[in-house]
Amino acid sequence: MIAPEILTVVFIIVLVVLAVLMVVVGMQLFFTLNELKMTLRRVNYYLDSLEEKIDTITYPFRIISSFLNGFGSGSRAAEGFASFLKKDSSKKKL
């Protein structure tokens, strides 16, 4: 009858050791995830800062591009108006 009592004690000791080990692993996991969260916040901050600087650098180029697009559209409109006037003047000559 001594063997079942020893087996019970061994099982209890193993369960206690496993429970303590699981608590320690859980705490380490919590601290690791918390550190990852802080690192991702810093990375996000640096990426936002980089995006603002790139926007500042590319802003003049975007303005020039939109100006040139508007200029091209205006020249096409002027060509269309000129061709309209040519057609209108040729009809008057007849």
The rounded distance, in Å, linking the Cα atoms of 57 and 48 is 14
The reported pLDDT for the residue numbered 77 is: 75
The half-sphere exposure of 32 on its side-chain side, counting CA atoms within 13 A, is: 6
The rounded distance, in Å, linking the Cα atoms of 70 and 56 is 22
> For the chain, where are the E strands, in sequence order?
none
56, pLDDT greater than 70: yes
Dihedral sign for Cα 49, 50, 51, 54, please: positive
Residue 79 carries which side chain, given as an amino acid letter? E
Q: pLDDT tens digits, residue range 9-48?
A: 999 999 999 999 999 999 999 999 999 999 999 999 999 9
